[in-house]
Structure 1
Amino acid sequence: MATIGQRVGALVAVAALAGCGQPAQGDAPVVFAASSLSTVLPHLDDTARFSFDGSTGLLDQLRSGARADVFVSADHDTMLAAAEEGLLDGEPVMVATNRLVLVVPADNPASVTGFDGSLADTRLVVCAPEVPCGSGARRLAEAAGVRLDPVSEELKVTDVLGKVASGEADAGIVYATDAALASDAVTAMEIPGAAADPNTYWAGVVAQAPHPEGAEAFVAALAGPWQADLRAAGFGPPR
């Protein structure tokens, strides 16, 4: 398995593959996607219009009547809620997995040693519990017997990463793919049990999508031709 640092170079290769299997431009979809996909998806389809946010925030927007063609969440529960509420057309498909890691600033000013008691009394930043990266972090902490006492809870994993990379926080819990993107500014540490309890990414066509053909093509590409690109960007395969 490639290390987190080795994935940075792989991310660059994704850009060279941009345009493979894209939907026709005349039917380009509007895609609501989890913020942890904000780097890779635009490289895969430069015709789609993207809105990136926390998965639950995007679901709330759909509930409020926001128009979109595709919804890509970073966990199953959020996608299941969308399906149960009639916000999807057809069954969603799992397209990738990701795992959480602990990140600290490159110089590690709080001398954090890992996902352990060294996090006590640090400026720890995590995702809010209603966001997939937040609920996942709390599951891992409970399993490891680690108490999380964050000074801030964010609605997007990219906001957690930004606070650590800038030195505003001493530590944070983010996805491995996000940590790879900021490898010059942060140091990533594996979290025990994270690989066995990954976040799963699901994609579905939104009910009454304005561009249904483009939406279906986008989801099909995520589940098919773009799988190699997602692997190159550090995402794991569907389970």
Structure 2
Amino acid sequence: MIRSARMAALVLLASLGLGACSSPGSGDSGSVTVFAAASLKESFTELGERFEEKHPGTEVTFNFNGSDSLAAGIVGGAPADVFAAASPSTMTRVTDEKLTSDAPVTFARNRLVIATAPGNPHGIGSLKDLTAPGLKVVLCDETVPCGAAARKALAAAGVDLAPASFEQDVKSALTKVRLDEADAAVVYRTDVRAAGDTVDGVDFPEAAEAVNDYPIARLENAPDAPAADAFVAFVTSPEGRKVLGKAGFLAP
């Protein structure tokens, strides 16, 4: 009986030790599915790679899209662990349904610029210049954060603009300029920076009236909650904010 008791104790200790080594709370095993605003693509891709290096065995998968579409997917039951939106109002669609585990945390801010072809051939220097005859301008749709911010900035400038098209996310709007399908687009400065020398960015003062806060939260029904918590913590860490700052995001 004594021997059996000792064996049982050893088995229990071994199982506890194994659990400690692979504890879900360590974030060192499993997977994280992150729904993130399209404007976060470059910075979050880098953050994902760094996170995987720090947590061997954990895989990070991203779904980058317009925040509105992502929120609709989450509300509709799409499986995800983390949601990073480009505006508090978009995140509210998810929190109103009580689909986040905790209150969202603002981890970055972003502001708008006017994207033009390299060299700014049309000499665009302000939002008012976007109304010049024959100029083809695209905006993000008003349902997504970059579109709502653009409308707010245009209103602050007293500019009534009829765009050539409304795009479903900021990357699509910028692509129109890069492909010479549009003369200008109102997008985030982070996207212009990520595009390198394929576009130029023009600052305008009204952008200060339409700065977007970016919230992040772990979802209540996250398939891998411990790994998701670890990813959110990494994004909001000093290292995470350094990566975001390098991409052009403003500190919260």
TM-score tier by shorter-chain length is 0.7 to 0.9
Q: Aligned-pair distance for 1:72?
A: 0.2
CA distance in 1, matches of 2:64, 2:121: 31
Q: Contact conserved, 2:67 with 2:85, CA < 8 A, in 1?
A: yes
Q: Secondary structure in 1 aligned to 2:73? A: helix
Q: Secondary structure in 2 aligned to 1:210? A: coil
Amino acid at match of 1:188: G
Larger mean Cα displacement after TM superposition, 81-90 or 207-216:
81-90
Q: Secondary structure in 2 aligned to 1:169? A: coil
CA offsets per residue over residues 5-58 of structure 1, 9 Å max, x none? Answer: xxxxxxxxxxxxxxxxxx745222100000000011111123310000000000
CA distance in 1, matches of 2:243, 2:31: 20
State the match for 1:214 in structure 2.
227
Equivalent runs, 1:68-107 vs 2, <5 Å: 68-107=80-119
State the match for 1:26 in structure 2.
29
- Out of 25, 29, 38, the residue aligned to residue 41 of structure 2 is 38
CA distance in 2, matches of 1:119, 1:107: 19
Q: Aligned-pair distance for 1:91?
A: 0.9
Give 5+ residue unaligned stretches, structure 1.
1-22
CA distance in 1, matches of 2:204, 2:77: 38
- Out of 200, 211, 218, the residue aligned to residue 205 of structure 1 is 218
Q: Contact conserved, 2:150 with 2:210, CA < 8 A, in 1?
A: no
Q: Secondary structure in 2 aligned to 1:28? A: strand
- Out of 46, 49, 72, the residue aligned to residue 60 of structure 1 is 72
Structure label with greater radius of gyration? 2
Larger mean Cα displacement after TM superposition, 194-203 or 128-137:
194-203
Identity %: 38
Say whether residues 1:140 and 2:153 are aligned partners: yes
CA offsets per residue over residues 153-193 of structure 1, 9 Å max, x none? Answer: 01110001111011110110110010012231211111213
Q: Aligned-pair distance for 1:150?
A: 0.5
Cα 1:79–1:118 shift into 2, 3 Å:
closer
Q: Contact conserved, 2:47 with 2:235, CA < 8 A, in 1?
A: no
Give 5+ residue unaligned stretches, structure 2.
1-25, 50-58
State the match for 2:165 in structure 1.
152
Cα 1:106–1:219 shift into 2, 3 Å:
same
CA distance in 2, matches of 1:33, 1:183: 22
Q: Contact conserved, 1:120 with 1:149, CA < 8 A, in 2?
A: no
Larger mean Cα displacement after TM superposition, 41-50 or 107-116:
107-116
TM-score using structure 2 length: 0.82
Amino acid at match of 2:73: Q
Q: Aligned-pair distance for 1:144?
A: 0.6
Higher relative contact order (CA 8 A, sep 6+): 1
CA distance in 2, matches of 1:184, 1:102: 14
Higher helix share: 2
Larger mean Cα displacement after TM superposition, 39-48 or 103-112:
103-112
Amino acid at match of 1:229: V
Say whether residues 1:233 and 2:241 are aligned partners: no
Q: Aligned-pair distance for 1:196?
A: 4.7
Q: Secondary structure in 2 aligned to 1:45? A: helix
CA RMSD between the two structures: 1.5
Q: Aligned-pair distance for 1:117?
A: 3.6
State the match for 1:11 in structure 2.
none
Q: Contact conserved, 1:117 with 1:146, CA < 8 A, in 2?
A: no
Say whether residues 1:167 and 2:180 are aligned partners: yes
Q: Secondary structure in 2 aligned to 1:95? A: strand
Cα 1:58–1:38 shift into 2, 3 Å:
same
Q: Contact conserved, 2:194 with 2:247, CA < 8 A, in 1?
A: no
